């Protein structure tokens, strides 16, 4: 049946790895094209594992450009505030016998996609399974960043374009079964999508940055859904 093994974690996270490869390539290529040294996107991908903050930094933290470093640190912190909530969501599903050291290892893999995949599994989570998800997504992201940074000329962007849909297809595959199972979840998902789409229609001066808009839409939608339809105890 369904064992939460390392191999299964790797297999389930393959679309994440493939999607991260494509996005990582694009983010790193953009950073270098904007004037970042090659080490910058490579070091970021190794230590951040965050498309949103790397995308923001690719456009801003350029050596020689005006602007201080602290506002950039704060911007990234705000963009990544959701890791607190994602980590909290994952903590709810983690068996208590997984100790602190292993939790610290798992923490490095806390991303939107990885946590959504992990918490949607119908079987109890295990440490090897989570390491499988982390290894696959981390490898895809870093390989994409390294190749994108070192050789933006290696692959023409047009060859990678259809790969862009893989990540979104995966989001759909994660969200749809949950929304099918539960009406409150369906409400949360639809409200979030509508809010984020509506935010895009605002005049550009009032429009929040896309990552912030996604975060606000998600928090508002989950908040409304949770307020109207609380969960039974112990069943997240």
Partner 1 sequence: MTEADLFAVVVLVAAANFAMRSAPLVLLRKPLESPRLVAFVGRLPYAILAAMVVPDAFSATGSAAPSCAGLAVALALSLCGKSLPLVAAAATLAAFAVS
Q: Does 233 bind partner 1 (CB under 8 A)?
A: yes
Site residues for partner 1, 87-126, by CB under 8 A, read 87-92, 94, 96, 100, 103-104, 106-108, 110, 112-113, 115-117, 119
Q: Does 84 bind partner 1 (CB under 8 A)?
A: yes
Report the nearest approach of partner 1 to the CB of residue 29 (Å). 14
- Sign of the alpha-carbon dihedral angle for 228, 230, 231, 236: positive
Which one of residues 28, 58, 86, 133 is an interface residue with partner 1 (CB under 8 A)?
86
190 to each of 174, 209, 226, how far by Cα in Å?
A: 14, 21, 14
Q: Where are the alpha helices (DSSP H) in the chain?
A: 6-12, 14-33, 39-47, 51-60, 69-79, 82-93, 100-107, 112-119, 127-150, 157-160, 164-181, 183-200, 210-228
68 to each of 53, 61, 62, how far by Cα in Å?
A: 16, 9, 11
Which one of residues 5, 7, 59, 77 is an interface residue with partner 1 (CB under 8 A)?
77
Which of 150/224 has CB closer to partner 1?
224
Site residues for partner 1, 28-67, by CB under 8 A, read 36-37, 40, 43-44, 47-50, 53, 57, 61-67
CB atoms within 10 A of CB 182: 14
Which one of residues 5, 154, 180, 207 is an interface residue with partner 1 (CB under 8 A)?
180
Q: Does 155 bind partner 1 (CB under 8 A)?
A: no
Stretch that binds partner 1, among 1-9, 131-139, 141-149, 177-185 (CB under 8 A): 177-185
Report the nearest approach of partner 1 to the CB of residue 149 (Å). 13
In whole angstroms, what is the distance from residue 132 CA to residue 138 CA?
10
């Amino acid at each position: 049946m369904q064992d939460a093994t390392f191999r299964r974690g790797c297999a389930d996270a393959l679309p994440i790895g493939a999607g991260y490869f494509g996005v990582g390539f694009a983010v790193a290529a953009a950073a270098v094209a904007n004037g970042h040294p090659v080490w910058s996107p490579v070091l970021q991908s190794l230590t951040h594992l965050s498309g949103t903050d790397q995308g923001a930094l690719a456009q801003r933290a350029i050596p020689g450009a005006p602007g201080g470093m602290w506002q950039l640190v704060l911007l990234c912190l705000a963009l990544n505030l959701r890791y607190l909530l994602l980590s909290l969501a994952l903590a709810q599903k983690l068996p208590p016998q997984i100790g602190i050291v292993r939790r610290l290892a798992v923490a490095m893999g806390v991303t939107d996609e990885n946590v959504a995949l992990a918490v949607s599994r119908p079987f109890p989570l295990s440490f090897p399974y989570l390491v499988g998800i982390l290894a696959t997504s981390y490898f895809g992201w870093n390989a994409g960043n390294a190749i994108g940074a070192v050789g933006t000329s290696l692959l023409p962007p047009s060859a990678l374009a259809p790969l862009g849909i893989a990540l979104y297809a995966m989001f759909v595959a994660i969200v749809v079964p949950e929304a099918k199972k539960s009406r409150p979840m369906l409400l949360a998902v639809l409200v979030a999508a509508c809010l984020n789409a509506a935010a895009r229609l605002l005049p550009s001066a009032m429009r929040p940055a896309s990552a912030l808009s996604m975060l606000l839409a998600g928090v508002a939608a989950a908040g409304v859904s949770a307020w109207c339809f609380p969960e039974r105890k112990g069943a997240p």
